[in-house]
Amino acid sequence: MSSISGLGEDEVSSFFESSPPLKNKEGILEKLNGFIEHNSSGGRRIVCVTSGGTTVPLEQRCVRYIDNFSSGNRGAASTENFVKAGYAVVFLYRSGTCQPYCRSLPDDPFLDCFQFPDKTNIQVHASHVEAVKMAVMDQQAAVAESRLLKLPFTTIYEYLQMLRLIATALKDVGPCSMFYLAAAVSDFYVPWNTMTEHKIESGSGPLDIRLAQVPKMLSILRTTWAPKAFCISFKLETDSKILIEKATKALGKYKVHAVVANELSTRKEEVVVVSSSGNVVVRRDSDKPESIVEDNLIRLIVDRHSTYIKESHT
Amino acid sequence: MSSISGLGEDEVSSFFESSPPLKNKEGILEKLNGFIEHNSSGGRRIVCVTSGGTTVPLEQRCVRYIDNFSSGNRGAASTENFVKAGYAVVFLYRSGTCQPYCRSLPDDPFLDCFQFPDKTNIQVHASHVEAVKMAVMDQQAAVAESRLLKLPFTTIYEYLQMLRLIATALKDVGPCSMFYLAAAVSDFYVPWNTMTEHKIESGSGPLDIRLAQVPKMLSILRTTWAPKAFCISFKLETDSKILIEKATKALGKYKVHAVVANELSTRKEEVVVVSSSGNVVVRRDSDKPESIVEDNLIRLIVDRHSTYIKESHT
């Protein structure tokens, strides 16, 4: 890696060097390269959508961990909209979070959706037919047509190693590739080599934990891993007063093409897209009950990506 | 509450007083009382199986939290075996963890189990017919016959408030009730009233967190909430050398009827049931591929419960 001053490359290197190695790296890489080759040879744009929160283990043989709240709804809904807009999507998601095309299923689908009236033929309850069809038919079609590749992660170590793998694999796709980084990535972690091996014992008073900052990988993604990709990052805050200021700061610091600013309590109604051309409030169409904010958000992002591709060619 | 010396009742009171109030408490209580009345009037034994890990929020408007690893497999499999043994089960489970009768489903069931060959009739792939039938038919039958009541929680606050609700509601069932406490409950938490309201800011060096000990509710459950119930607790360790010693200590300290000792890496092969009558190693039948350790474990626990009921009546 070439020297990048001010990006904390020492921290990045030492983070990766001390990470437990990614399991089945060869298998992931094979799937990924096949997917990218298939789609880029057909001239299709490819977006990597990250979704859900990363965990930070507090023990090497992990019983306890710190987690970031994220249902994965934003990433799942955005993935559907990117596929609809003609993209191929690498969906890098936290195991167990919301899946594309599955947002309308009830919490407990096997208890609520189905019946076996004659013990041989399964039926879907009328109220859930559309939700199940979408989860099965639309999802399977997207995967079968190589428009959707799903890759799960759990820990911050898995997430960042997989992100690096994907970014490096997408490097040659250049401006037609996009990173849409909706995952809630931990800011703090316990470095693997300073971590206790066994379960932390209780019973001896309060517990003090010192967490180190996770090095900011966004800078490395932009400058080294995939510098020509269009790049959207996310900022979530619970305090609306500081949200836009922090999103604007992130835009300048990481040189991404836009930052989607979310406030926790209103994030399903509206977001603000912060970019060098100004701030745009994107709302869901409140007169249509089934409308979601991602319908309008992805339309805007795809437009911006089209402009970016055009400008890259001139 | 009467004075219980040495049980830390002040900590318990202050834990509950400072907890955010349980949502839909009336609704939960109504379901619970109906379920208990239906089953106890028919003379059926009732077990409360707890399952999955509790979360500990680090912020009041929660983005980050500490979690305990638990797939919920043990609780789900045990629930199925208790129903098979004639019990009614209150399944108090962490949202999103493994559900009874669903252990054989693949990770991504809507992608892998189904097809709509003619766009109107859904079919199950041959390889998953048995798993889907079990998840739908067996589960629905257990719920329809009032043999299974599923109650979800996420935080430690929800878990402990719901456990108290269930224990208090089961008090009159006496020795025919059981607590089978397989949930992985946090030992440490950040007291709600000392917690920061907004998301903890990153970007200013390492983060120090001080966690307080969660008061041990097991003593209160045994002495006050449901003193006549048969009570099984669990001990999970990653270090086999200290496991039995810690389980034995817990047996004495909390006066439960047995402690199931698990070692993280071998817990699907064997557990040790530690009780005043000695330690029993329970293994799965390794000559039967579909056998699980819970088949033999629940058989043993049910036997012990029968003896306990008999002795209570003499």
pLDDT at B4 over 50: no
Whether residue A187 and residue B205 make contact (CB cut-off 8 A), yes or no, is: no
Whether residue A139 and residue B96 make contact (CB cut-off 8 A), yes or no, is: no
Inside any domain, residue B32? yes
In this prediction, residue A7 carries a pLDDT of: 53
Whether residue B197 and residue A238 make contact (CB cut-off 8 A), yes or no, is: yes
Q: Which of A55, A60, A114, A143 to mutate to test the interface with B (most CBs of B within 10 A)?
A: A114
- Helix, strand and coil content of chain A, in percent to the nearest 5, comes to 40, 25, 35
pLDDT at B215 over 60: yes
| Lowest-pLDDT range of A55-64, A196-205, B164-173, B253-262 | A196-205
Inside any domain, residue A112? no
Give percent above pLDDT 70 in chain B: 96
Inside any domain, residue B267? no
Q: Which of B56, B112, B114, B246 to mutate to test the interface with A (most CBs of A within 10 A)?
A: B114
For range A177-193, the mean pLDDT: 91
- Nearest by CB to residue B61, choosing from A109, A111, A238, is A238
In this prediction, residue B131 carries a pLDDT of: 95
In this prediction, residue A159 carries a pLDDT of: 97
Cβ neighbours of A59 in B, within 8 Å: 238
Cβ neighbours of A211 in B, within 8 Å: 206-209
Shortest distance, CA A185 to any CA of chain B (angstroms): 10
Show the CA angle centred on residue B13, arms to residues B11 and B17, nearest 5°.
115
Q: What ipTM is given for this predicted complex?
A: 0.86
Cβ neighbours of B104 in A, within 8 Å: none
In this prediction, residue B292 carries a pLDDT of: 96
The chain A residue lying nearest B201, using CA atoms, is: A187
Inside any domain, residue B158? yes
Inside any domain, residue A105? no
Find the helix or strand (DSSP H, E) in which A181 lies.
strand A177-181
In this prediction, residue B248 carries a pLDDT of: 96
For range B293-308, the mean pLDDT: 98
Shortest distance, CA A149 to any CA of chain B (angstroms): 12
- Nearest by CB to residue A140, choosing from B55, B111, B213, is B111
Closest Cα to residue B294, out of B90, B132, B141, B73? Answer: B73
In this prediction, residue B100 carries a pLDDT of: 98
Question: Is the CB of residue A4 less than 8 Å from the CB of residue A224?
Answer: yes
Cβ neighbours of B138 in A, within 8 Å: none
Cβ neighbours of B247 in A, within 8 Å: none
- Phi then psi for residue B115, to 5 deg, are -150, 155
pLDDT at A309 over 50: yes
For range A135-143, the mean pLDDT: 96
Cβ neighbours of B198 in A, within 8 Å: 237-239
Q: Which of B55, B110, B139, B264 to mutate to test the interface with A (most CBs of A within 10 A)?
A: B110
- Nearest by CB to residue B202, choosing from A123, A137, A213, is A213
pLDDT at A190 over 60: yes
Find the helix or strand (DSSP H, E) in which B11 lies.
helix B9-18
Return the bridge partners of A213, or none: A188
Cβ neighbours of A136 in B, within 8 Å: 110-111, 114-116, 122
**pLDDT confidence band for B13 (50 / 70 / 90):** confident
Whether residue A67 and residue B65 make contact (CB cut-off 8 A), yes or no, is: yes
For range A232-246, the mean pLDDT: 92
Whether residue A122 and residue B124 make contact (CB cut-off 8 A), yes or no, is: yes
Question: Is the CB of residue B113 less than 8 Å from the CB of residue B125?
Answer: yes
Cβ neighbours of B202 in A, within 8 Å: 187-188, 213
Cβ neighbours of A65 in B, within 8 Å: 66-67, 69
Closest Cα to residue B64, out of B158, B200, B176, B181? Answer: B200
Look up tokens 């047996």; give the residue: B251
Radius of gyration over alpha carbons of chain A, in Å? 21
User: Mind listing the pLDDT tens digit for each residue in B124-172?
Assistant: 999 999 999 999 999 999 999 999 999 999 999 999 999 999 999 999 9
Mean pLDDT of chain A: 92
- Nearest by CB to residue B239, choosing from A65, A198, A209, is A198
Look up tokens 């257990």; give the residue: B142
User: Mind listing the pLDDT tens digit for each residue in A64-75?
Assistant: 899 988 999 999
Q: Which of B58, B68, B122 to mutate to test the interface with A (most CBs of A within 10 A)?
A: B122
Number of domains making up chain B: 1
Whether residue B63 and residue A55 make contact (CB cut-off 8 A), yes or no, is: no
User: Mind listing the pLDDT tens digit for each residue in B281-290?
Assistant: 999 999 998 9
The chain A residue lying nearest B138, using CA atoms, is: A111
Domain limits at B39?
9-101+141-228
Inside any domain, residue B201? yes
**pLDDT confidence band for A14 (50 / 70 / 90):** confident
In this prediction, residue B119 carries a pLDDT of: 85
Cβ neighbours of B139 in A, within 8 Å: 110-111
Beta-carbon contacts of residue B113 (< 8 Å; ≥ 6 apart):
B105, B106, B124, B125, B128, B131, B132
Q: Which residues of A63-99 are buried (b: 16+ CB within 10 A; e: fewer)?
A: bbbbbbbbbbbbbbbbbbbbbeeebbbbbbbbeebbb
The chain A residue lying nearest B215, using CA atoms, is: A203
Cβ neighbours of B203 in A, within 8 Å: 187, 213
The chain B residue lying nearest A97, using CA atoms, is: B96
For range A133-143, the mean pLDDT: 96
Look up tokens 């990363």; give the residue: A54
Inside any domain, residue B91? yes
**pLDDT confidence band for B5 (50 / 70 / 90):** very low
Most confident among A15-19, A119-123, B183-187, B201-205 (mean pLDDT) = B183-187
Whether residue B202 and residue A184 make contact (CB cut-off 8 A), yes or no, is: no
Inside any domain, residue A107? no
For range B209-235, the mean pLDDT: 93
Pinpoint the alpha helices (H) of A71-221: 73-84, 109-112, 129-133, 139-144, 156-170, 217-220
- Nearest by CB to residue B65, choosing from A69, A188, A206, is A69
Alpha-carbon distance A205 to A143, whole Å? 51
pLDDT at B91 over 80: yes
In this prediction, residue A2 carries a pLDDT of: 38
The chain A residue lying nearest B206, using CA atoms, is: A212
**pLDDT confidence band for B204 (50 / 70 / 90):** low
pLDDT at A295 over 70: yes
Cβ neighbours of B132 in A, within 8 Å: 110, 114, 122
Mean pLDDT of chain B: 92
| Lowest-pLDDT range of A25-39, B56-70, B229-243 | B56-70
User: Mind listing the pLDDT tens digit for each residue in A240-276?
Assistant: 889 999 999 999 999 999 999 999 899 999 999 999 9
User: Mind listing the pLDDT tens digit for each residue in A27-40?
Assistant: 999 999 999 999 99
In this prediction, residue A4 carries a pLDDT of: 41
Shortest distance, CA A296 to any CA of chain B (angstroms): 25
The chain B residue lying nearest A134, using CA atoms, is: B110
Whether residue A213 and residue B197 make contact (CB cut-off 8 A), yes or no, is: no
Domain of A160: which CATH number? 3.40.50.10300
Which tops the pLDDT comparison, B259 or A19?
Answer: B259
